[in-house]
Structure 1
Amino acid sequence: MICLKTSGVVDRVITTDVLAVGGSGAGVTAAVAALRSNVKVTLVSKGKVGNSGNAIMAGGGFSVDGESALKVCGMENADPSFTQDKLFDYIVKESYFISDQNMVEQYVEESPKVVNELLQWGKRAGQEFLFVPPSTWIAAGTCWGNALKQGIKENPEIEVIEDTMIIDLLTNNGQVVGALGLDIYTGELIAFKSKAVVLGTGGFQPFSLKNTVTDMTGDGVAMAFRAGAKLADMEFLLAFATALSPNEMKGSIYPFVMEFNMRNIHYDVRDGNGDLIDIPEEIIKISRGTKLSKLASMYYWGKAIAEGRGTPNGGVYLDYSSNSKEELERSLENFFQRFSKWHRYGYYKGEDMSEVKRMMLNDEWIEVGLGFEYSMGGILVDEKMNTGVPGLFAAGEVTSGVFGANRVRDGLTEMLAQGYRAGLSAAEFVKGTSELDIDLSQLESIVERITRPFAAKDGISAIKVHHNIEKTSDEGFGFLRNEAGLTKTLNELNRIKNEELPYISFKNKSRNYNYEWIEYMQVENLLTCVEAGVRAALMRKESRGCHIRSDYPEVNHDEWILRIIIENEDNKMKLTTRKPIVTKLPLYKGKDENVMAYFLNKNLGYM
């Protein structure tokens, strides 16, 4: 084996059996599971473990079935009538039958044990999780993060490397043999030599208004794609009510969290002209106060905004004036009391809510937009979290398969269940494989690619390129799509890829905490993800879940209960389709007028 360090290509080499990538729920549970299988484990996080990734942004809750909440998690007031079979049924129908049902079974059956372990970590870390029947826990993202840190603390044999960005996967003869990383603060390049890699790096959000962390650039999705993994369901991205006002709270999810926790409070939705947006009472009845409200807002608010009836900032207004002052005062007091368990009283995630309260009590409308939260698409995996590339496993939002076209259930639960399973599978693979060397020529090629902008002069800023990706995604790939807009966006993405990405340069020539360098690698990954999503959206000539097309508004079950699969063929995207895997629930038939009419169809039997 060539000594990588002395070759001058990298600054450090770290050898392990299982490399878990990601400092949130999927990465941590994968690391713990692999360690318990008696293999050497290294956990690498782009930030601090438990304080990076989207879990820290959590404001709602996470859940299992009611029977398991009672019997596995010990919640005496859980509702055991909400069984695993019912949860399975809900997820498949909420996915518009696009989910692979073997993946849903894994989520339903394996999540209770891992959720309970997280709750125990949280308890020992002094965190409070509030249980709400039938089977949901509510907490702040900081509680979640502190519980994960406790899990790592209780497993000190896990080697933890923080503030390190994984740049690319390393392969030898088609098998993953490690990854290349960047120490963000020192600029050192680190070669991780491992027998297996688990990606728990989250999804992608290419839009200007999002309620996620800012670096949701699909790093793991794009790395896996370059390594030979297939992608699926990339056209499906979820948005929901996100604050546009007060200005200092822009991007906050407080409007949805209030709806979820103040279910007795009614609100009307008005367009930029002050006119009511017509939302059928049947839809309000089944969605308000639940996570199905997210899709309802995408559809009804999104249509009004796309028709040019949005507010000055491209949103809608929430009008709470139909409630009495006494009702609002009482509900806001209960809301602040509930969340004072995790936040300062009268605050939400560090933001003062007094202006929101004043506006509501004075019958002032609150401006909200559709901020994107979650990508249902990602790496194609099976129920063991295999990607199809030997030595590569993935878990959480970086994957696809559970939620199909629309997520109503919990991404937090998904990352725990899948992370733990991925760790077990990776450890099993390690025990049955022989060690392969890192391919020095591949490593040199990656290093040359990522360092090229240091030598470039008078080029374009990576930050500007990121902005351009967001702009064209907003225009053609957002919450309401059509052929012309998608085609224009795809053309613009190709222009960015050919005319901007190769000409990125850095003003800062130091490798020490160089944000331009980080952004350069992130925009390359984001471009891959958005291109895949737009191509899939163009191919899917119907509406389904979070893929809503004005030129194809009908949900066509007879022709389009298909997963769109994307593979890398000679550095070009090849799209194919296949039917979802069925284990219990037969695929649906017929057509629905639009994505919300689907839930009202009596043949579906959703409620």
Structure 2
Amino acid sequence: MFMPKSDVVIIGSGLAALVAANRLCMEKNVIIFTKSSKYNSNSMLAQGGVAAAISSDDDWSTHFNDTILAGCGHNLESAVKALVQEGPRYMEELIQQGMQFDKDEAGRIKLGQEGAHSIRRILHAGGDATGKALVQFLLKKLCNKVQIIEHELAIDLIVNDGSCVGVQTLDEHSQLTSYYANHVILATGGCGGLYEHSSNDHSIVGDGYAMAYRAGADLIDMEFIQFHPTLLYVNGHCPGLISEAVRGEGATLVTKNGRKIMEGQHPLLDLAPRDVVARVIFEEVKKGESIFLDITMIENFSSHFPTITSLCKRNGISPSDGKIPVVPGAHFMMGGIKVDSYSQSTIPGLFAIGEVACTGVHGANRLASNSLLEGIVFSNLMADFILSQATRPVSQKALRDERPTVQSKNQLPTKEEIKEMMMKSVGIVRSKRELEEVVMVLEPYIQLKPKELHFNKEKICLLNMITTAWLIASSALHREESRGGHYRADFPDVNKVWDHRTITRNALEHAVVN
């Protein structure tokens, strides 16, 4: 049997994946797999910028303190230091390589303000299209250097003798292939697609978490989901994100009668940490209020925010009216696959970068615009580590295409049922009873394997959604406190000091609460 092999396999095509590939491809053979198009990633949708202390008025220690404060003290301090100390250097490298960030009339890089930052330190590109600009820049650099295989779903990691040695994939024709590699890197993004309202690309449903869990890797802090306060809300749907940079330029959250809802809620008002703002909007909506971003004070809004202006117009909203309807939606996973300072998981040979990884930098609540920086910094640190290591032998054991001859009787919940359940019971505000119900509903499906689903792509994606949803609900049930992105209505004021809690297969194998 032909078993393709490379030095490095990367699963995912967002910023973290492309930064890693850019560093590794000069010395390693690199293959990138993505289940959709190479442009389907949360990075492509990132309107906000990159937070970095590059100004003479700024300092890494200030960025450090802002990150710890936003993360409710749950951050891993060594990881935060690496992020904020190394960030400016890697940003300068990107600029030297030709990446263009927005500049002012004097030719200096413009720095924006966003929530919970104590100083203007956000670099933007294309106004409100920073992620897209970064992805396109890196794809151009990688042209003809890296093989990118689109529309091929990674379904399971291959683990031989306790080490990850490859990945199984399904192509558009349901052809099952085993790819072997010295290093396997998960860069699959988060899991916003588990929720009815989300800023994420439609393809981002938690595949990486589920694959890592099935392989036996440890996961950590899965209960911490950040809900972005301002998703465009039209006719019950959320077609896109309204960047926090809009509030950074002075926009305020108001009711239809003009009442400013953040007054008296937090000293930073509309620029309070995202978990605070999201809960205030959530409570207002529960009372029947409609919430809007008042943008009347922002001059030249359309030229300042061209992506948002286009998004609004496509959905029948005119920014010139001065108010944009918004609701909170699932935005970012702070937890994920447990990794060390070089992005190594607990399985030798398996690495994780970007949102699918838990480096510890975000704590219980991510500081705005730290996500793109995380992808840049830790992908570079990981690449340096991989390049410094001697090539390890890879055990290639042929895997049989074991397709069951008997039709599986498992009737999986639908995608819509999962999204509704997660938004209602594992969303912005949670409680023990609702979390227990979700855990019990999803528990029976956790032991299913892709082969039991006849290697059907749609069903495997559903299984990944179910597995990740169960991990989040189980973790949220175990954390009896409110902190950052995890808010328990039955423990609203409890502030215990918790360590980062690791999730292993054994720890959550029987998480149903009787």
* TM-score category of the 2 structures, normalised to the smaller one: 0.7 to 0.9
Q: Secondary structure at the match of 1:406?
A: coil
- Whole-angstrom distance in 2 between the partners of 1:415 and 1:55: 10
1:524 aligns with 2:463: yes
Partner of 1:46: 35
- Whole-angstrom distance in 1 between the partners of 2:79 and 2:156: 27
Partner of 1:131: 110
Q: Show the 5 A alignment for 1:276-425.
A: 279-281=262-264, 283=266, 285-288=267-270, 290=271, 292-305=272-285, 308-310=286-288, 316-318=290-292, 320=294, 328=296, 331=298, 333-340=299-306, 343=307, 347-349=309-311, 351-352=313-314, 355-357=317-319, 359-360=321-322, 367-400=325-358, 401-409=360-368, 410-425=370-385
1:172 aligns with 2:160: yes
Q: Secondary structure at the match of 2:184?
A: strand
Q: Secondary structure at the match of 1:560?
A: coil
Q: Is the CA contact 1:566–1:574 (under 8 Å) kept in the aligned structure 2?
A: no
Partner of 1:207: 195
1:95 aligns with 2:89: no
After superposition, the C-alpha distances for 1:540-574 in whole angstroms (9 at most, x for unaligned) are 11100011111101141xx3332121001298268
TM-score, reference length from structure 1: 0.73
After superposition, the C-alpha distances for 1:236-284 in whole angstroms (9 at most, x for unaligned) are 1011234454449733223745323x41x444246xxx7958544361x
AA partner of residue 123 (structure 2): W
Q: Show the 5 A alignment for 1:464-483.
A: 465-483=414-432
Partner of 2:443: 494
Question: How much has 1:223 moved relative to structure 2?
Answer: 1.3
TM-score, reference length from structure 2: 0.86
Give 5+ residue unaligned stretches, structure 1.
6-12, 70-77, 321-326, 506-510, 512-516, 576-607
Partner of 1:226: 214
AA partner of residue 369 (structure 1): V
2:5 to 6, 15, 18: 15
| Closer/same/farther in 2, CA of residues 485 and 455 from structure 1, 3 Å limit | same
| Closer/same/farther in 2, CA of residues 551 and 371 from structure 1, 3 Å limit | same
AA partner of residue 254 (structure 1): I
Q: Is the CA contact 1:201–1:398 (under 8 Å) kept in the aligned structure 2?
A: yes
1:456 aligns with 2:407: yes
- Whole-angstrom distance in 2 between the partners of 1:217 and 1:415: 19
Q: Secondary structure at the match of 1:485?
A: helix
Q: Is the CA contact 1:196–1:391 (under 8 Å) kept in the aligned structure 2?
A: yes
- Whole-angstrom distance in 1 between the partners of 2:167 and 2:396: 12
AA partner of residue 281 (structure 1): G
Corresponding pairs, count: 493
Q: Is the CA contact 1:241–1:255 (under 8 Å) kept in the aligned structure 2?
A: no
Question: How much has 1:422 moved relative to structure 2?
Answer: 2.1
| Closer/same/farther in 2, CA of residues 189 and 318 from structure 1, 3 Å limit | same
Q: Is the CA contact 1:30–1:198 (under 8 Å) kept in the aligned structure 2?
A: no
1:108 aligns with 2:61: no
After superposition, the C-alpha distances for 1:206-252 in whole angstroms (9 at most, x for unaligned) are 21111111122211122122222110110010112344544497332
Q: Secondary structure at the match of 2:318?
A: helix
2:506 to 564, 569, 573: 569
AA partner of residue 372 (structure 1): A
- Whole-angstrom distance in 1 between the partners of 2:451 and 2:149: 31
1:190 to 177, 180, 188: 177
2:393 to 434, 455, 472: 434
| Closer/same/farther in 2, CA of residues 335 and 227 from structure 1, 3 Å limit | same
Q: Is the CA contact 1:287–1:296 (under 8 Å) kept in the aligned structure 2?
A: no
Question: How much has 1:81 moved relative to structure 2?
Answer: 3.1
Question: How much has 1:497 moved relative to structure 2?
Answer: 5.1
Question: How much has 1:191 moved relative to structure 2?
Answer: 1.5
Question: How much has 1:354 moved relative to structure 2?
Answer: 6.7
1:147 aligns with 2:147: no
- Whole-angstrom distance in 1 between the partners of 2:344 and 2:418: 31
1:554 aligns with 2:501: no
AA partner of residue 164 (structure 2): V
1:216 to 184, 187, 204: 204
Give 5+ residue unaligned stretches, structure 2.
104-108, 113-119
Partner of 2:106: none
Partner of 2:116: none
CA root-mean-square deviation: 3.2
Q: Secondary structure at the match of 1:281?
A: coil
After superposition, the C-alpha distances for 1:553-606 in whole angstroms (9 at most, x for unaligned) are 1141xx33321210012982689xxxxxxxxxxxxxxxxxxxxxxxxxxxxxxx
After superposition, the C-alpha distances for 1:355-400 in whole angstroms (9 at most, x for unaligned) are 333543xxxx754221111011100111111112111111110011
- Whole-angstrom distance in 2 between the partners of 1:92 and 1:570: 28
After superposition, the C-alpha distances for 1:286-312 in whole angstroms (9 at most, x for unaligned) are 152x4x45222222122344xx4145x
Question: How much has 1:491 moved relative to structure 2?
Answer: 1.7
| Closer/same/farther in 2, CA of residues 159 and 352 from structure 1, 3 Å limit | closer
- Whole-angstrom distance in 2 between the partners of 1:543 and 1:398: 23
Partner of 1:596: none
| Closer/same/farther in 2, CA of residues 276 and 166 from structure 1, 3 Å limit | same
| Closer/same/farther in 2, CA of residues 204 and 248 from structure 1, 3 Å limit | closer
AA partner of residue 302 (structure 2): F
Partner of 1:597: none
